[in-house]
Amino acid sequence: MAEAGHNSGMAEKDQQVLFFINRNEYVRLLEAKKAADAALRNHGKQIKADLGENGMRQIKLYEELRTPEGEAKFKAQRAADAQAAAWAGLPVNTQADMFSDLAPLDERAFNVGEEAGLRGDTLANPYDENSHHGREFKRGWESGQAKLAEGIKQKKAEASTTERIVGDDAGPADEDDADPFEDAEAA
């Protein structure tokens, strides 16, 4: 990285040009960040509407659990929570829930494949494709892809039937209030 002020020997007009090049890029990136932040906030509202109060927490936890560090953090937090729950008299880690996550390998292969399909991952079968488990993974992935495609289609259909708000919030829309994005939607 260049040392700060390394261009101090330049002519002032050249420094001015560099100033504006850097200023313009900063402003462009800042505007992009503001737009991305607004889009993320709006999507957070959509997640809450679609999945409820805990939807965003679930998505963040899911992403965190996809890393070894996140999984270790979750396990430590869960152990601490279980300890506090036990102190409060809530039965946890009892014999009743001891086998709750055990499933046959075929079912687990299908479930892992389905999750990969729902995430939109490309088909990367961790099993031998000619084995029964490999076929179950692929069947799960295809099921996940189909569910994902159907969900996307349904969301688009719902979005196209929702009421469009035209004009400002002051009152009913006038005929003069044209949708500035109407032409873009037709493209």
Euclidean distance between CA atoms 173 and 166, whole angstroms: 6
Euclidean distance between CA atoms 121 and 115, whole angstroms: 9
**Which DSSP letter does residue 172 get?**
S
Whole-model pTM: value is: 0.54
Q: What is the pLDDT of residues 99-148, one digit of tens each?
A: 555 778 888 899 899 989 998 999 999 999 999 999 999 999 999 999 98
Give the model's pLDDT for residue 172: 46
More confident: 179 or 86: 86
Backbone phi, psi, residue 27, to 5°: -65, -45
Q: What is the pLDDT of residues 4-52, one digit of tens each?
A: 566 667 888 888 898 999 999 999 999 999 999 999 999 999 999 999 9
Give the model's pLDDT for residue 161: 75
